[in-house]
Amino acid sequence: MNLENITKMLHPGEQILWASMPQPGKLMDEQNKKRNMRWFITVGVVFAVLMFLYVRACVGAGTNVFSVVTVLFVLVAALIFLDPITTYRMLRKVEYAITTERVIVCSPSTQSFSLPRSKAAPVQVIDENGVSTLVIGTDKTPRIGKLRPLGLTGLFVTEDDKAVAHPVFYRVPDAQEAVRILESAEN
């Protein structure tokens, strides 16, 4: 595992106690297939209805801006449609770490963030097919279908009128070691 991105985030004297990367499984694994199919169908239906209404309005008005707006509609729909695919691809590059000071989520393609270890309790363990997902520092339980994107962004919880990202270590193979380290810091 390449820890280059995490080591760049370390403070002077801070040491890595545990590091891992997610094992996102397949794009359409049994847990995410239902969510992804709903997403693809919803985006497709909304796009088709909007295009139908737009074409009808253009024909009725006799305007010639049809091609420019159509290209914009298609581009926006493609970006929205591809969201589950880009999330899956980005998740394969994410690194998670527990250091002497913080719990870190580091991604080269999204904003990296950390949570002080003093705020890393409780730790929720969600088991699935021999791999575990850890939700760190909050009692708020995420929906199972949302775990994959939360592995990139974290689970946002309102604290002191601010949204704070709590790390979600998505499908890490050595989760029990991470839990042991986090629980030992509490004592």
User: What is the pLDDT at residue 37?
Assistant: 79
CA distance 72 to 95: 35
DSSP-assigned beta bridge partners for residue 164: 157
The pLDDT value given to residue 66: 61
pLDDT tens digits along 51-81: 788 777 777 776 666 666 777 777 887 787 7
Full pLDDT tens readout for the chain, 187 residues: 667 788 888 999 999 999 999 987 776 666 667 777 777 788 788 888 887 887 777 777 766 666 667 777 778 877 877 877 888 888 888 999 999 999 999 987 667 899 999 899 899 999 877 789 999 999 998 988 788 888 888 888 888 888 888 999 998 988 999 999 998 866 5
Q: Note the pLDDT of residue 18.
A: 94
Burial of 36 per CB tally in 10 Å (0-12, 13-18, 19+):
buried
What is the DSSP secondary-structure string of 94-149?
-EEEEESSEEEEE-SSS--EEEEGGG---EEEEEETTEEEEEES--PPPPGGGHHH
SS3 of 16, please? Answer: strand
R_g of the chain computed on alpha carbons: 21
pTM: 0.75
Tell me the C-alpha distance between 83 and 148, whole Å.
12
Q: Residue 138's pLDDT is what?
A: 92
Asked if 107 and 168 touch (Cβ cutoff 8 Å), the reply is no
